[in-house]
Amino acid sequence: MELGLRLMNANKEEGTHKMKQEPRLQYFPISYFSVVMGLVGLTLSIQKAEAIIKVGTGISTGLLIVSSIIFLLIAAMYLAKIIKYPNAVKEEFNNPVRLSFFPTATISILLLSIGSIELVPQLSLYLWAVGAAAHLAATIIILSQWIWQPKFEIHHFTPAWFIPIVGNILVPIAGTAHGYFGISWFFFSIGIVFWILMFTIFLYRIVFHKSLPEKLLPTFFILIAPPSLAFISYVKLTGALDQFGLVLYNFALFLVIFLAFQIRVFSKAKFYLSAWAYSFPIASFVVATSLMYKIQGAQTYYYLFFAMLTILCLLILTLIFRTGKEIHSRGICVKEE
C-alpha cells in the first residue's frame, strides 16, 4: 500500500515537473514586436523633444540602440520558434486576432529606419527598402487571408486589424526623406483608403455587436495611430499644412480626448502583453504634435507635446516594469486556455 502511494506521488511530481518544463518558446507571441514599436515610438518622441529644446541627441541615440538590440533578440526568438515549432506559428497565423500582429515585425523595421535617418542615412535607406517591401508583401498576404478564409466573423474584428494598414501610412515618413516620393504616394494611398474603410467597419462592429474582451481593450488606442501617422506622412509628401492635414491631426486629437474619457475602463483591466498597444499610438500622436508645433509655432502645441511626452514616458516605464514582472512570474509565453 505504501509503495503504491509512493509511486502515485512520484508520477504526480513527474507530471508537474513536465508541465513546468514545457517549452515556452512554443508560445512566444508575434505580438512581442509591439514592444519594439513602443520603444522606437518613444525614441522618435525624444528626438523631437531634443530638437525643440535644442540639446544633444545622446538620450534618443541610446534608446535607438537599445530598441535595435531588443528587435534583434525578439526576431531571433521568433525565428527559432518558426524553425522548431512551425505548427504553432501556423496556428498563430490562422488566428483572426493574432494574424494582424504579424506586420508589427515589418513596422518595427520601418520605425528603425525613421529613427536612424539622421544618424546613419545609408542604413536607414536599406531598412526602409526592406521594411517597405516586406510590409507590402504582408499587406497582400493578410488581405488575401481576410478575403478567402471561411472562418472569420464580424466579432473577430478588433482595432488590431488596423496594424497592417498603419505600416503603409508609415512608409512615406522615411521614403520622402530618401527622395522616393512616387513610392511613398503609392503606400500612402493604400493606407489612407483602407483606414477609412476599416474604421467604418469597426464602428459598425463595436456599436452593434458584443464589446471587446478585456485582453484586447488596449487595442482601442490603435485607433489613434492611423490619423496621426497619416498627418505626418501627408505633410512630408506635400511639404505644407493644408485643410486636409488639419482634419487628420484634429481627428487624432479627438480620439486622444475621447479615449482619455474612457480611462476608468482601461485602468480596471488586467495586465496583458497587449497593453503595449497603448504605447506606439500615443507616441505617434506625440510626434504629430511636435510637427504641428514646428509648423504653426503655437504655444498650445508646445505644452500639449510635452504633456503627452510625459504621459508616454511614464507609460513606457510602467509597461517595462509590468512586462518584466509577468516574465518573471511566467505569465507570458504560456499556453492560453
pLDDT along the chain (337 residues), means of 10: 47 46 78 94 96 91 96 95 92 89 95 95 96 96 88 87 92 96 97 94 89 88 96 96 96 96 87 88 97 94 97 95 84 66
Q: Where are the alpha helices (H) located in the chain, listed in sequence order?
A: 2-20, 33-53, 58-84, 86-93, 104-115, 121-148, 163-177, 181-208, 225-238, 243-260, 263-267, 279-296, 299-328
Sort residue 23 into left (φ over 0), alpha (ψ -120 to 50) or beta: beta
In a domain, 241, yes or no: yes
Q: What is the pLDDT of residue 229?
A: 97
CA distance linking residue 140 with residue 267, whole number of Å: 36
Q: What is the pLDDT of residue 16?
A: 44
CB distance 26 to 336 below 8 Å: no
Q: Is the pTM of this model over 0.95?
A: no
In a domain, 181, yes or no: yes
In a domain, 14, yes or no: no
Q: What is the pLDDT of residue 212?
A: 85
Distances from the Cα of 234 to the Cα of 104, 169, 228, 229, angstroms: 22, 9, 10, 8
In a domain, 17, yes or no: no
CA distance linking residue 195 with residue 162, whole number of Å: 7
CA distance linking residue 188 with residue 181, whole number of Å: 10
In a domain, 3, yes or no: no
In a domain, 309, yes or no: yes
Which CATH number fits the domain that encloses residue 127?
A: 1.50.10.150
Sign of CA dihedral 184, 128, 111, 133: positive
- Domain count along the chain: 1
Instruction: Give residue 293's domain range.
Output: 26-328
Cβ partners under 8 Å of residue 150, min gap 6: none
Report the candidate in 57, 39, 35 with the shortest Cα–Cα distance to residue 48. Answer: 57
In a domain, 12, yes or no: no
Q: What is the pLDDT of residue 328?
A: 77
CA distance linking residue 269 with residue 5, whole number of Å: 44
In a domain, 273, yes or no: yes
CA distance linking residue 48 with residue 311, whole number of Å: 15
